């Protein structure tokens, strides 16, 4: 049995299995109700909001629209991964799939939150977008080379990078170069996925654990997906110790770790967009408080307070 202090201050006893189901059901509810909330607020920011003002005053409004387009696509990815996670956590449980799914959520979520960060101004927002887009276009060029696309197609891809640079420079942003003068970025140095996740979600530890599984590191695979088998082979007597391992569906505590991070990955970027777009903040707070209560989330997990 697990002792849990609820938001009401009472104490209750629930089994590990019930805790797991409570969290999984709460995540499903969060996905459903957050999606409904976003849809109810409409596509455009509220008049007078930070987003509306930036679109009206920035020297190239298209750049501000582009920021939100990228963030919206990333949020769609987060939502799809929520559905995958719930499926992976339903019998028969896909242990490693649970971990790698949440890892993908953290990456998309943190960038969306980073772009819709309500604490920065329009210049910084567009700067972040250029840095992110430059990294993506460079990866597109690398993909083209690896795929052996035609010379004409490769030239078109390389021209995309040059046009992106021209747009950035026209807006007053600089080109980032290495010591040899090679272009390595636009507007600002791109943060790594780990750095953005730490900055926006404070989940460096979680991301590193999840990445251990995604990168197939033995310590992570063994820790999160296997356990010593009930029946062990006899030792050979030559001094070598062998331990038989068997795959496990994972512990309720391990799945709780994943769900807590997935919950934050879904909630934080929506919260940032709510503030930036001037949506109904009180309604979103009420929604989050109710769902976090149902999931047994402690006060320290409620980032909006």
Summarised one tens digit per residue, pLDDT across range 54-108 is 999 999 999 999 999 999 999 999 999 999 999 998 888 888 888 999 999 999 9
Q: How many CB atoms lie within 10 A of CB 77?
A: 16
CB distance 233 to 244 below 8 Å:
yes
Give 68 or 17, the one with higher predicted confidence: 68
Mean of pLDDT values over 136-165: 94
From CA 46, how far away is CA 279, in angstroms rounded? 7
Query: CB under 8 Å to 255, separation ≥6 — which residues?
Result: 20, 23, 24, 89, 98
Local confidence band at 196 (pLDDT 50, 70, 90 cut-offs)? very high
The pLDDT, as a whole number, for residue 13 is 67
pLDDT band at 10 (very low <50, low <70, confident <90, very high): low
The domain limits of the chain are 2-118+192-228+245-301
pLDDT band at 1 (very low <50, low <70, confident <90, very high): very low
Whether the upstream peptide bond of residue 92 has omega within 30° of 0, thus cis, is: yes
pLDDT band per the 50, 70, 90 thresholds, residue 197: very high
Q: Kindly give the pairing relationship between strand 11-14 and strand 175-177.
A: unpaired
Instruction: Read off the pLDDT band of 3 (50, 70, 90).
Output: very low
Question: What pLDDT, on the 0 to 100 scale, is given for residue 26?
Answer: 94
pLDDT of 4 higher than 60: no
Cβ distance 78 to 269 under 8 Å? yes
Mean pLDDT, the chain, integer: 91
**Model pTM score:** 0.90
Share of the chain above pLDDT 90, in %: 72
Is 157:171 a contact under the CB 8 Å cutoff?
A: no
Distance CA 89, CA 21 (A): 9
Q: What is the pLDDT of residue 12?
A: 55
Rounded to an integer, the average pLDDT of 133-158 is 94
Average pLDDT over every residue of 121-142: 96
- Report the pLDDT averaged over residues 203-212: 94
Q: State mean pLDDT over 159-173.
A: 95
pLDDT at 9: 53
């Amino acid at each position: 049995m697990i002792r849990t202090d609820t938001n009401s201050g009472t104490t209750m006893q629930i089994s590990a299995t019930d805790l797991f189901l409570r969290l999984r059901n709460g995540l499903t509810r969060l996905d459903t109700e957050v999606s409904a909330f976003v849809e109810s607020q409409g596509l455009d920011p509220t008049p007078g909001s930070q987003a509306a003002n930036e679109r009206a005053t920035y020297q190239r409004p298209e750049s501000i629209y582009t920021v939100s387009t990228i963030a919206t696509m990333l949020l769609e990815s987060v939502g799809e991964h929520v559905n995958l996670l719930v499926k992976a956590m339903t019998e028969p449980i896909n242990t490693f799939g649970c971990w790698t799914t949440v890892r993908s959520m953290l990456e998309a979520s943190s960038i969306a939150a980073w772009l819709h960060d309500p604490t920065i101004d329009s210049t910084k927002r567009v700067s972040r977008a250029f840095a992110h887009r430059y990294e993506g276009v460079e990866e597109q060029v690398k993909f083209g080379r690896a795929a052996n696309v035609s010379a004409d197609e490769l030239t078109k891809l390389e021209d995309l990078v040059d046009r992106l640079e021209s747009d950035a420079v026209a807006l007053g942003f600089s080109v980032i170069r290495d010591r040899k003068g090679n272009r390595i970025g636009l507007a600002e140095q791109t943060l790594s996925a780990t750095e953005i996740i730490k900055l926006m979600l404070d989940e460096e530890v979680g991301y590193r654990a999840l990445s251990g599984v995604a990168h197939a590191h033995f310590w992570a695979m063994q820790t999160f997906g296997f356990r010593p088998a009930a029946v062990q082979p006899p030792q050979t007597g030559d001094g070598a110790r062998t331990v038989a391992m068997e795959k496990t569906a994972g512990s309720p505590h391990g799945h709780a770790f994943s769900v807590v991070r997935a919950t934050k990955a879904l909630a934080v970027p929506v919260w940032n967009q709510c503030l930036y777009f001037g949506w109904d903040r009180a309604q979103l707070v009420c929604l989050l408080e109710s769902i976090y209560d149902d999931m047994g989330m402690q006060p320290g997990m409620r980032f909006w307070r």
